[in-house]
Amino acid sequence: MGVFDSGVGGLTVLHECLVTMGNEDFVYLGDHARLPYGPRPLPEVRRFALEIGAYLEGQGVKLILAACNAATSAALPELQEALAVPVVGVITPEAHAAVQTTRNRRIGLLATQATVDAGRYALLVGDLDAGAELVPVACPKLVPLIESDDPFGAATTEAVREYAEPLKAAGVDTVILGCTHYPLIRPIFQRVFGREVALVFSAEETAREVAETLARKGIENERGREGAYRFLTTGDPVAFRTMGARFLQLPIAEVERVSLDELRAAAA
């Protein structure tokens, strides 16, 4: 199974998949050479996602998980159309969970600029409950802070307070953490919003959707075997290992480097 993200944030989703589907094999690709996706124009993010999708399909994976909110927002339908294998994204499971969780039908979204600009969350929430209100806030400072040497420092708390303000003013009772990096600082979000606000993140819901897709298509591995996992990056393998272990919460032994030329050639 192929999993990809702009960096290491998607490892929070992979962690849940490894726990839920220990019998499956995974290959994870982090596109560190082009990180971050969030501030980039949607057509550019779409092109990156299609290159990675084609590359992973060429590696013989049986399903691809876009474990990146920006890539899912920009390219999920195009990936599903272009590739022969099933493609699952992280946004639909979150929208479902948020609509089911909210009591006052006011839902906040914290995400990157690309994810907010794409508007896919608003469409999904509206399809599920036309009376629900989605309040989106772009959070450009958070990913660099979370990937810094001090992700739990005062600067991170200050940024979270700043981005939470408009959501508190809107009276939301549910907040979607719409970036795979954000769960790493979940305690800060919970402290800033308080216990009365529910936080929704895609890992568990996404892993469940992947498992259901494998079962529905009859392509899951037999029970009882132990799956393997590989890690690829377009950036520095040493930096990926160091940062990745923090997000995966499991040891990362070896990281292979993939060139951008290899990705472009796969999509050509």
- pLDDT tens digits in sequence order for the chain, 268 residues long: 999 999 999 999 999 999 999 999 999 999 999 988 999 999 999 999 999 999 999 999 999 999 999 999 999 999 999 999 999 999 999 999 999 999 999 999 999 999 999 999 999 999 999 999 999 999 999 999 998 889 999 999 999 999 999 999 999 999 999 999 999 999 999 999 999 999 999 788 899 999 999 999 999 999 889 999 999 999 999 999 999 999 999 889 899 999 999 999 999 9
Task: Give me the pLDDT at residue 204, please.
Answer: 84
Task: Give me the pLDDT at residue 22, please.
Answer: 93
E strand spans, the chain: 2-5, 26-30, 64-66, 87-89, 106-111, 133-138, 174-178, 198-200, 229-233, 256-257
Catalytic residue among 179, 184, 243, 266: 179
Catalytic residue among 68, 124, 172, 200: 68
Task: Give me the pLDDT at residue 89, please.
Answer: 95
Task: Give me the pLDDT at residue 161, please.
Answer: 98
Is residue 17 among the annotated active site residues? no
Question: With 0-12 CB in 10 A as exposed, 13-18 as middle and 19+ as buried, what is 8?
Answer: buried
Task: Give me the pLDDT at residue 147, please.
Answer: 87
